[in-house]
Amino acid sequence: MRWPILRTVFVKELRETLRDRRTLLMAIGLPVLVYPLIIIGFSRIAESGESAIASRASTVAVWGALPAEVEAALGDQTRLALKPWEGAPPEVRAALEAGALTAPALRNDEERRTNDEGRRANDERVEESGPVIEAARAAITRRQVESVVVLWPGFAERLGAGDEAALTVYFDSVRRESEVARNRVTEALREYRARVIARRVAEQGLPRGFSTALDIRASNVAQAERRAGRLLGTLLPYMLLSLAVLGGLYAAIDLTAGEKERGTMQTLLCAPITASEIVVGKFLAVWTLSLISVLANLLSLSLTISRLLPADVPSLGAANYVMTALVLLPVTLTTSALFLAVSSFARSFRDGQSMVTPVYMAVALPAAVVMLPTVELDAWTAFVPIVNIALLIKGLFLREVSVDLAFLTLTSAMLYAVLTIALAVRVFHRETVLLGGKESVRGVLGLDGKPGGLPTPSLAVSFFAVVLVLQFYGSLALRDQPIPTLLLILQYGGMLLPSLLVVAAFRFDWKRTLALRMPGPTAVLLSIVIGLTAWIFAAGVVARLLPPPENLQRAMERLIRLGDDPYPLWVVWLVIGLTPGICEELLFRGVIMSGFRRMGGVAAVALTALLFGLAHASIYRLLPTATLGLVLGIVTWRTGSIVCAIIVHAVNNAFIATLAQRPEIIEWAGITAASTEIPWTFTALGSGVFLVALGLIARNFEWRMANGEWGSDERGSDERGSSDKGGGRD
């Protein structure tokens, strides 16, 4: 990959894309238009509906003899048009007038109270069936009236006698105008009732509070800021995600299928430029378009919110928008690469559109789940591509995100990004794809390759991502199992088995990929020493730099002790020591590190260590485990043998577990179960021994690689220059 060439391709692709109106419209025009339109549109529709209803009088049928006083009270409500006996079937009217029908009985006090409140009476009361409700329902549903007030027989008399008079307001909660009618009627009646009660209380000479007793009011406790966040947090991630990725979508189709259609791809392919340079240049252009789109979206959104939302909803701070933009980066990486890869298969722009549209739907639709209030960022959703980012944005706006979950989300999102970029590069390496031929999935995945090769860097990262997700869901599914069972299944089933399968499926060279080579006695001895002292270095030095939180530490201790029940030491050694030694090493220092080998020793060891650290899924464990990963990488690289790494790993783990089980072994050094830090003196001594052993390994086994026993056909390592002097002792 040559940077000047990459820049040339990137600049040209971007220039070409920016001259395409269709792409620009999607990336910038759409967001600029959409947000104001949505917010204006929504409020207009709601407003106009409300105001139309509000300005019109409600038609209310009154079935029964209406006392003049009540009629006057309802008449105070100017927006009520009373229609005596409107819509009442003759038999119902006759029955009511004859006093043959009575008010449905209230079932209990609770219902009476609710009813009495006059508020939610008919919502909650299921007034089964009966001639009156059926007649009222018919009158309302055929839109003859909006509400029916039934004054039950004896209403006027009871009211006059100071008794309780019953009336029922029938309405349809589904129809907004019916609800408005109900509200107007009940409001007028409540006012009237208050006057009647006040009069009766005065007549009886009772105190003012006699009939009210309690004054109950409701008040919404949600802060205005959180209300704004809730509103935006549910709508925003969805809108942002689906629109932000659209910017890259058209650019991706244009630069691949469009280029093929225009017949310019072939010219590019016979220029002195590699497929990787073409695809990465194109990818950068598509990504830039996505970023422009993200910015356009956020800008348009923030302006819309600050200008158009009601004044009592405070706008969100600039920090929120910056965070959102940052969080969107990995998603735009993923979607840009995905669109690029998929549209590469198309032969024309139209073809590309029909291929990418389903992919876009698959991206945009899951993001819609964030609009459900119950779906939140947790350990499960943090690994679901796209959705995790949408949830993270929602969390940011609602201020409900934990650092660890955000870390997990961003890590997995970056992994998905790397995975899709690797896919795009792979697709571009297939000449039949570029020249418009047919291509098989098997071909793109590289499963048709020649036997005896080594993994590629992209395969290493892809494989790592797959294993990580596998581990993650595995550990959630098995969380009710005892810890030893869980660990054994995850290690052998989730790491070793996939490693062996991938080597078999791609027909890699077993010995070279997994570094299967027996070390000599010196290497074994040094490995044991390193294994015994590495933890002192990691715990004494590294953990001081970034102390883990206490609950994590307790969880780790519990894990190392295999739970709360004591196990015999040999079980601990097997489960915590040997098993991870074999499984994790064959995965990391085997498949993954051999994938990075062509990038040189330093890069291979460092990248593998980074992934090893990331695999431990907590930001606090990243540094110590990555340090251990570095040590294991150096040991493997220098000795050329996975066995040495297995020894270091197994001894290291087993020793720590032994100390956790039998703390008395180490108490003489001033370390107790309660102390979290290892004393400096002990740290210095242990670290010294560790560094000497590591140095000896690094110095004396340098020749392994240079002699070509470990990948002679690879592009060289950084250390090759100094490698001649090493004689090797084992």
Partner 1 sequence: MLTADGLTKRFGAVAAVEDVSFAVEAGEIVGLLGPNGAGKTTTLRMLAGILTPDAGRATIGGLDVHAEPLEAKRRLGFLSGDTQLYQRLTPREVLRYFGELYGVGHTLEARIEALVRELDMAEFAGRPCSTLSAGQKQRANIARAFLHEPPLLILDEPTTALDVISGQFIVQAIRRARDAGRAVLFSTHIMGEAEYLCDRILLIHRGRIVDGGTLPEILARSGRGNLTDAFLHYAGA
Min dist CB 269 to partner 1, Å, is 5
d(CA 191, CA 307): 40
Min dist CB 293 to partner 1, Å, is 19
Q: Are the beta carbons of 88 and 64 closer than 8 angstroms?
A: no
Closest CB to partner 1 among 276 and 683? 276
Count of CA atoms in the C-beta half-sphere (13 A) of 363: 26
Provide DSSP, 314-373: PPPPHHHHHHHHHHHHHHHHHHHHHHHHHHTT-SSHHHHHHHHHHHHHHHHHHHGGGGST
**Which residues have CB under 8 Å from 609's CB, separation 6+?**
626, 627, 629, 630, 632, 633
Q: Which residue stretch of 11-19, 94-102, 456-464, 513-521 sits at the interface with partner 1 (rule: CB under 8 A)? A: 11-19
What b/e readout covers 269-284, taking b as 16+ CB neighbours within 10 angstroms? Answer: eeeebebebbbbbbbb
Q: Is 16 in the site for partner 1 (CB under 8 A)?
A: yes
Q: Which residue stretch of 12-20, 61-69, 128-136, 282-290 sits at the interface with partner 1 (rule: CB under 8 A)? A: 12-20
User: Which pair of structure tokens corresponds to residue 81?
Assistant: 């048009």
Single-letter code of the amino acid located at 530: I
Min dist CB 718 to partner 1, Å, is 23
Closest CB to partner 1 among 271 and 545? 271
d(CA 575, CA 570): 9
Closest CB to partner 1 among 258 and 577? 258
Q: Are the beta carbons of 514 and 643 closer than 8 angstroms?
A: no
Closest CB to partner 1 among 48 and 274? 274
Closest CB to partner 1 among 263 and 721? 263
Min dist CB 272 to partner 1, Å, is 4
Closest CB to partner 1 among 8 and 315? 8
d(CA 388, CA 416): 11
Min dist CB 33 to partner 1, Å, is 24
Q: Is 1 in the site for partner 1 (CB under 8 A)?
A: no
Closest CB to partner 1 among 217 and 438? 438
Residue indicated by tokens 């940052």 = 326
Min dist CB 424 to partner 1, Å, is 20
d(CA 12, CA 281): 9
Min dist CB 52 to partner 1, Å, is 50
User: Which pair of structure tokens corresponds to residue 440?
Assistant: 């098989």
Query: 3-state class of 62 per DSSP?
Result: strand
Query: Per DSSP, what are the bridge partners of residue 338?
Result: none
Provide DSSP, 224-253: HHHHHHHHHHHHHHHHHHHHHHHHHHHHHH
User: What Å distances lie between residue 611 and 192, 462, 606, CA to CA?
Assistant: 74, 11, 9
Q: Is 55 in the site for partner 1 (CB under 8 A)?
A: no
Q: Which helix (H) or strand (E) holds 263?
A: none
Q: How far is CA 688 from the centre of its chain?
A: 44
Q: Is 308 in the site for partner 1 (CB under 8 A)?
A: no
- Cα angle value 300/305/306 (rounded, 5°): 105
Closest CA to 192 of 81, 62, 83, 69: 69
Closest CB to partner 1 among 218 and 271? 271
Q: Which residue stretch of 6-14, 347-355, 462-470, 525-533 sits at the interface with partner 1 (rule: CB under 8 A)? A: 6-14
Q: Is 19 in the site for partner 1 (CB under 8 A)?
A: yes
Min dist CB 274 to partner 1, Å, is 7
Q: Are the beta carbons of 683 and 565 closer than 8 angstroms?
A: no
Residue indicated by tokens 């896919």 = 423
Min dist CB 715 to partner 1, Å, is 14
**Contacts with partner 1, 261-280, as mask; x by CB under 8 A:** -xxx-xx-xxxxxx------
- Which contacts of 359-365 are long-range, i.e. CB under 8 A and separated by 24 or more positions? 360/245, 360/246, 360/249, 363/241, 363/242, 363/245, 363/335, 363/338, 364/238, 364/241, 364/242, 364/245
Q: Which residue stretch of 10-18, 220-228, 663-671, 716-724 sits at the interface with partner 1 (rule: CB under 8 A)? A: 10-18
Closest CB to partner 1 among 436 and 590? 436
d(CA 466, CA 586): 16
d(CA 679, CA 546): 16
Closest CB to partner 1 among 190 and 429? 429
**Which residues have CB under 8 Å from 663's CB, separation 6+?**
671, 672, 673
Closest CB to partner 1 among 182 and 260? 260
Closest CB to partner 1 among 340 and 575? 340
Calculate the CA dihedral of residues 677, 683, 687, 688 and round it to 10 degrees: 170
Min dist CB 717 to partner 1, Å, is 22
Min dist CB 261 to partner 1, Å, is 9
Min dist CB 422 to partner 1, Å, is 21
d(CA 268, CA 271): 5
Q: Tell me which of 75, 160, 437, 566 binds partner 1, using CB under 8 A.
A: 437
Site for partner 1 in 621-680 (CB under 8 A): none
Provide DSSP, 442-458: HHHTTTTSPTTB---HH
Closest CB to partner 1 among 17 and 186? 17
Q: Is 310 in the site for partner 1 (CB under 8 A)?
A: no
Q: Is 216 in the site for partner 1 (CB under 8 A)?
A: no
Q: Which residue stretch of 238-246, 258-266, 453-461, 700-708 sits at the interface with partner 1 (rule: CB under 8 A)? A: 258-266
Q: Is 441 in the site for partner 1 (CB under 8 A)?
A: no
Closest CB to partner 1 among 255 and 543? 255
d(CA 467, CA 445): 17
Q: Is 15 in the site for partner 1 (CB under 8 A)?
A: yes
Q: Which residue stretch of 5-13, 241-249, 602-610, 616-624 sits at the interface with partner 1 (rule: CB under 8 A)? A: 5-13
Q: Is 449 in the site for partner 1 (CB under 8 A)?
A: no
Min dist CB 4 to partner 1, Å, is 8
Q: Is 5 in the site for partner 1 (CB under 8 A)?
A: yes
Min dist CB 360 to partner 1, Å, is 24
Closest CB to partner 1 among 13 and 584? 13
Terminal C-alpha separation, the chain: 39
Closest CB to partner 1 among 5 and 552? 5
The phi and psi torsions of 290 (rounded to 5 degrees) equal -60, -40
Q: Tell me which of 52, 194, 435, 571 binds partner 1, using CB under 8 A.
A: 435
Strands, sheet with 147-151, edge to edge from the N-terminal-most edge strand:
80-84, 58-63, 147-151, 167-170
Q: Are the beta carbons of 593 and 505 closer than 8 angstroms?
A: no
Q: Is 350 in the site for partner 1 (CB under 8 A)?
A: no
Min dist CB 459 to partner 1, Å, is 20
Min dist CB 569 to partner 1, Å, is 57
Q: Site size for partner 1, by CB under 8 A?
A: 23
Site for partner 1 in 487-546 (CB under 8 A): none
Q: How many CB atoms lie within 10 A of CB 465?
A: 19
Min dist CB 711 to partner 1, Å, is 19
Site for partner 1 in 393-432 (CB under 8 A): 431
Min dist CB 478 to partner 1, Å, is 46
d(CA 407, CA 680): 31
**Which residues have CB under 8 Å from 491's CB, separation 6+?**
579, 580, 583, 584
Closest CB to partner 1 among 257 and 631? 257
Q: Is 8 in the site for partner 1 (CB under 8 A)?
A: yes
User: Which pair of structure tokens corresponds to residue 129?
Assistant: 């069936």
d(CA 278, CA 369): 36
Closest CB to partner 1 among 284 and 331? 284
Q: Contact positions toward partner 1, by CB under 8 A? A: 4-5, 8-9, 12, 15-16, 19-20, 262-264, 266-267, 269-274, 431, 435, 437
